Amino acid sequence: MKRMVIIFLMIISQNVFSWDEVNNGGGAAEGTLTYTFLNVGKYIDLCLSSDICQISEREKEILSQIKGSLEEEFAQEKPLIFISESSNPGTFIIDGEIKIAKTGSAVGGPIYFNLDLLYFKNNLGIYESIDIKTAIGIIIHELGHHHNIQDHSFLDALGAKVALGLNKHIQVSSFFSFNDQLQVIVLNEKKDNSFPQILLRVYDDLIDISDEFKKKLKCNFMAFPNLIDILPGISISFKRPKGAVFHNIHWTNNTKIEKLITCTTVNPDKCFDNNKDVHVENFYIKGNLSNLCDKDATLFTGNKDYRARIKFSAYAYKNKSNTFKFKFKKGSVKIKQLWEPWWQIISLNLINY
């Protein structure tokens, strides 16, 4: 069989949001809050365009005001500041209560976050950080204060509604059963001309692979499916879809250890927490892909025969408290679109006979 492979060489840019370690938690919460802050406009739009949000006219007006001043908020040198209440006693005490965040009443004023409350121990005693849905609630609350809203409970309710709107569009899949530090987070806006927003959380790092993913999507002109997972499908593609939805996302079981690195003075960038032995592990994520290829395709009629596979690598090492931890390996993300039409299931069964 002739194999035709078209290789697209692309300049890949990965945005990695990561921060220095704090206390026992790591920098994951700071990364999540910064990412959410920079995407707040998109999350407000999801709420405004979805009935699930059930917002009143007044709430709608406030969300529009928040959205309207985002450019000014983003233009500040340090819009978000992270400090600990225990190291700065009294900073976050408002009306006798310790708050998770605070800000002033003017657009562009910095938002202060209380590091002590951004990390918590889960039921198994493992440190976790707040997630995007919690982060959006806090950020909407604080940005609301910038528009002269003093009522904290009103802003809590508004933040919760935006979080609810986001929750409807987001799929989160965790690799581990005992913590949420290794995750894929996918947001599908489910509207025409939109592409999935995809984030990898690898402990302290939050990696935005949305642009890279979008560049890999294509519409098949002629294709043969990949019958077995290890063989690539054959496809000839010229067109790019006008939109896509990535769903049914799961980690596949072919995660494997690639190699062992012994950290020395020659490769100090591979030494984490003074570890001698660091493993490189490969992770695979797979999901269904609905590409809008035809000119008049909609989310209902889009081609459902596509899949996408995301591969990335991470350094595995034991941290100071002797538990395993992962560090994302920069530039390791590889994305592949697969074509797996429904009748492939039948042909696979025949082969198995």
Q: Which residues bind Zn ion (CB under 5 A)?
A: 152
Nearest approach, Cβ of 337 to Zn ion (angstroms)? 45
Nearest approach, Cβ of 246 to Zn ion (angstroms)? 35
Q: Answer for the pair 150, 96: CB distance below 8 angstroms, yes or no.
A: no
135/335 with CB nearer Zn ion: 135
139/335 with CB nearer Zn ion: 139
154/224 with CB nearer Zn ion: 154
152/247 with CB nearer Zn ion: 152
Amino acid at 110: P
Phi/psi of residue 296, nearest 5 degrees = -105, 20
Nearest approach, Cβ of 149 to Zn ion (angstroms)? 9
What is the torsion angle, in degrees rounded to the nearest 10, for the CA atoms of residue 207, residue 208, residue 211 and residue 213?
70
If you write DSSP's letter for every residue of 86-101 in order, what string do you get? TTSTTTTEETTEE-SE
Q: Answer for the pair 308, 335: CB distance below 8 angstroms, yes or no.
A: yes
152/334 with CB nearer Zn ion: 152
Q: Which residue has the tokens 């000119």?
A: 295
CA–CA gap between residue 241 and residue 303 (Å, rounded)? 10
Nearest approach, Cβ of 155 to Zn ion (angstroms)? 6
Q: Which residue has the tokens 């819009």?
A: 79
CA angle 155, 161, 166 (to 5 degrees): 130
Q: Answer for the pair 221, 237: CB distance below 8 angstroms, yes or no.
A: yes
Contacts of 174 (CB under 8 A, 6+ apart): 180, 182, 183
Nearest approach, Cβ of 159 to Zn ion (angstroms)? 10
Nearest approach, Cβ of 206 to Zn ion (angstroms)? 25
CA–CA gap between residue 137 and residue 160 (Å, rounded)? 5
133/141 with CB nearer Zn ion: 141
Nearest approach, Cβ of 131 to Zn ion (angstroms)? 20
Nearest approach, Cβ of 141 to Zn ion (angstroms)? 6
152/215 with CB nearer Zn ion: 152
Nearest approach, Cβ of 311 to Zn ion (angstroms)? 43
In the complex, residue closest to Zn ion by CB: 152
Q: Which helix (H) or strand (E) holds 322?
A: none
CA angle 42, 47, 49 (to 5 degrees): 95
What is the CB neighbour count within 10 angstroms for residue 301? 12
CA–CA gap between residue 231 and residue 253 (Å, rounded)? 17
Nearest approach, Cβ of 262 to Zn ion (angstroms)? 51
Among 77, 72, 325, residue whose Cα is nearest residue 205: 325
Amino acid at 31: G
141/201 with CB nearer Zn ion: 141
72/151 with CB nearer Zn ion: 151
User: Side by side, which strands form the sheet with 101-103?
Assistant: 80-83, 111-114, 101-103
152/242 with CB nearer Zn ion: 152
